Amino acid sequence: MLKTKLGFAISAATLGMALSQTASADFIGDSKATVGLRNFYFNNDNRSGDADPSYSEEWAQGFMFDYKSGFTEGTVGFGIDALALVGLRLDSGAGRHNGTTVSPDEDGSARHEWSRLGANAKVRFSKTTATYGSALMPKLPILVANDGRLLPQTFEGGMITSNEIDGLTLTGGRLEHAVGRASTNRSGLSVNGGAEDSNEFWFAGGDWKATKDLTAQYYFAKLDEYYKQHFVGLTHVLPLGDKQSFKTDLRYFKTDSTGANSNGTAGHRFAGYTKNNSGEIDNNTWSAAFTYSLAGHAFTLGHQRVSDDSGFAQLNQGSTGEGNGGASVYLLTDRQITAFTRAGENTTFGQYVYDFSSLGVPGLKTTLAYLKGVDGRATNGNRGDEWERDFAVEYVIQNGAAKGLGFAWRNASLRSDVEGQRDIDQNRVIVSYTLSLL
């Protein structure tokens, strides 16, 4: 089955390229095809609490075949994308597999192999591109496709991106389904805790590069029967001289309930603390971060505030069944273990990054971060504090036959006195390589 699916994806892409030779050299000449390899080791140790599991450990190998064609010639150009994802379990012994952390669950054990296919059709007119299919991976303030494990999360639906006005990128679309990072099957769309599908996520917005150093953003999103969300962002980089700069990153989200979530309908409730235990989404979250860079050093200090009536909400596959396995949010506090999104939580954070290129070792980078959240509400409304410390070392070989081969070790610890939250120590070791075929 595995060989059949992977072979089909490669054959489909090869056939598309062959047929297109009569259509346009641009379709072929602008095509790109890669095979990405990711070896992923995950170790999670719950340091407190009596509930099982207290420890999980998995090791797996992932493959991602990614083909993106160019466009046919003419006023309107056509193209195709194809995506094949394969995961292989290398080790996850009895008692060490925990749900869908890395690999899909099969009768309480990690599945030996899993795979899925996706494809997009795309059309280009002038500087506007429309894409529809099942291999979408948006990276937008109102939705970030998760790529924090072995294989990436993908979405099904349509998107339009326009660059008709210099300095302005407009994006809009509608998404209907998702496939989680540790799943083979699609599911509907929801929020954390939501048990009912929406299958209707609308979004629109833009990025305006006012100057080479200043970018302003506005986006609107609506997940039918759950929430509507406004986002405003501002990023500015101030040059300070030779190898020095000061970056300001401001973000604000306003999220309100809509439809069934407003009415407290069973199956549409939001998880965590909500005012009067209503399950209703009602949240404002703002953050500010300032980064001073000097040669290979980068020092960041920031603060985030989450309002008190509910936690921060963005699209999640919730409890809708197939496809679960994690989600990302566009917050400066979305870190290795937690995201500091509880109702009422105020988080102060600092980060230090050093790029060893300044010492003659290009490709080597270390990151150290510390975040402290206070007054976050547990589901029962009681307040508590928590902190997370993250450390990462990453190295990518820059030259020779192994150029592009990457190694990463990410270590994190979470300590919390919020009721229901366990203390956690976590390690991830990742070896990755991307082979270019076209």
pLDDT mean across residues, the chain: 91
The CA distances from residue 420 to 96, 272, 326, 392, in Å, are 22, 10, 19, 27
User: Above 90 in pLDDT, residue 317?
Assistant: no
- Is there a contact between 339 and 349 (Cβ–Cβ < 8 Å)? no
Q: Which two tokens stand for residue 378?
A: 């547990």
The two tokens of residue 35 are 């095979």
**Residue 85 CB neighbour total at 10 angstroms:** 26
Contacts of 18 (CB under 8 A, 6+ apart): none
Name which of 29-43, 47-61, 111-125 the model is least confident about: 47-61
- What are the beta bridge partners of residue 298? 293, 353
The pLDDT of residue 51: 66
Q: Of 101-115, 163-177, 311-325, which has the strongest mean pLDDT?
A: 163-177
Answer yes or no: is pLDDT of 1 > 60: no
Specify the DSSP element, H or E, that contains 118. strand 113-125
Write out the E strands in 277-330: 282-294, 297-306
- The residue ranking higher by pLDDT, 51 or 408, is 408
- Which residues neighbour 48 within 8 Å (Cβ) at sequence distance 6 or greater? 422, 423
Looking up tokens 């099982």 gives 52
**Distance from C-alpha of 435 to C-alpha of 274, rounded to nearest angstrom:** 47
C-alpha distances in angstroms, 141 versus 231, 279, 332, 339?
7, 24, 11, 15
Given a contact cutoff of 8 angstroms between Cβ atoms, the answer to whether 194 and 226 are in contact is: yes
Check pLDDT > 60 for residue 11: no
**pLDDT tops 80 at residue 155:** yes
The stretch 320-340 carries a mean pLDDT of 85
More confident residue, 75 or 91: 75
**Has residue 209 got a pLDDT over 50?**
yes
Task: Residue 283: count other Cβ atoms within 10 Å of its Cβ.
Answer: 24
Q: Is the pLDDT of residue 24 over 60?
A: no
In 10 A of CB 305, how many CB atoms? 15
Using CA atoms, how far apart are residues 92 and 107, in angstroms rounded to an integer? 14
pLDDT over 70 percentage in the chain: 90
Tell me the mean pLDDT in the region 81-109: 83
Domain ranges across the chain: 1-125
Determine the Cα–Cα distance for residues 161 and 170; give it in Å rounded to an integer.
6
Report the predicted TM-score, pTM, of the whole model to 2 decimal places: 0.91
pLDDT of res. 13: 47
Contact 64, 85 (CB under 8 A): yes
Quick check: 431 and 32 in contact, CB under 8 A? no
What is the CA angle 155-158-64, rounded to 5?
40
Mean predicted confidence (pLDDT) in 233-259: 96
The region of weakest confidence among 25-29, 82-86, 296-300, 312-316 is 25-29
Q: State the DSSP code for 321.
A: S
d(CA 4, CA 231): 43
Token code pair at residue 431 = 């070896």
Q: Count CB atoms within 10 A of the CB of residue 27.
A: 23
Asked whether the predicted pLDDT for residue 5 surpasses 50, the reply is no
pLDDT of the residue at 46: 87
Q: Helix (H, G, I), strand (E, B), or coil: what is residue 276?
A: helix
Look at residue 48 in the predicted model and tell me its pLDDT.
76
Band of the pLDDT at 324, cuts 50, 70, 90? low
Q: pLDDT at position 175, please?
A: 97
Rounded Cα gap, residues 405 and 298, in angstroms: 24
DSSP codes joined into one string, 65-90 = EEEE----SSSEEEEEEEEEEEEEEE
pLDDT at 122: 97
Q: What is the pLDDT of residues 259-311, one digit of tens each?
A: 999 998 989 999 999 999 999 999 999 999 999 999 999 999 999 999 999 99
Which residues lie below 8 Å from residue 35, measured CB to CB, with a gap of 6+? 63, 64, 65, 66, 434, 435, 437
